[in-house]
Amino acid sequence: MHSVELLPDESTENAVRDVWEGLARAGLPSLAAHRHPTNRPHLTLATSDVLPPDVCERLEEALVVLPVPLRLDGLVRFTGGRTYVLAWAVSPDDALMRLHATVRHILRGAPGNERSRPLHNPARWVPHVSLARGRGGPVVAADADMFLTAAGTATGALEGRWTGARTYDSESRTTAPLGL
């Protein structure tokens, strides 16, 4: 599977990494522990089974709107069975919502893209930047804000810009830049 992801400006990326490190220092689940070279703060816009060159060209054309405003504000938790994700919520503005809809439309029309992903439907999409993920663990059972306070990190409102984009191939575990 391939994902199309937005990347934050350097200052915002550093702020997210500071939260990751604060959680890790406090002995809490954190993406700081994920040492794969592709691990970095990002926002997934949409996914596709395939990503042929002509689709990448269309994506690059759509991404000329970058940079667009970025606002992180508050926390969101996702649970599914025994897995969880703790994330910094992205407050989407009109520019981000238009870009999301355009990218999703391009990917849905790609030949060979068989599966519909309802979580990327604009009506259900919950934009976020992940802070921690795992199975079970204390973040599910307690208030996430309490853990962040204990870790000495803050996830109040933060403004920046989405300045770059990439694709991620979950099979090869590789990324490739898009646009700019």
Q: Give the CATH number, domain containing residue 25.
A: 3.90.1140.10
DSSP 3-state assignment of 48?
Answer: strand
If one counts the domains in the chain, the total is 1
Q: List, for residues 101-113, the tens digit of each pLDDT value.
A: 999 999 887 776 7
Question: Which among 110, 85, 104, 131 has a CA at the least distance from the CA of 44?
Answer: 104
Q: List, for residues 51-103, the tens digit of each pLDDT value.
A: 999 999 999 999 999 999 999 988 888 877 667 888 889 999 999 999 999 99
Six token digits for residue 12: 């915002």
DSSP 3-state assignment of 103?
Answer: helix
Is residue 4 within 8 Å of residue 45, measured between CB atoms? yes
Q: List, for residues 120-165, the tens digit of each pLDDT value.
A: 777 789 999 998 887 665 454 345 555 556 555 556 688 999 999 9
Q: Which domain holds residue 167?
A: 2-178
Q: Is the pLDDT of residue 25 over 70?
A: yes
- Residues 144, 154: Cα–Cα separation, whole Å: 11
Q: Judge if pTM exceeds 0.85.
A: yes
pLDDT at 126: 93
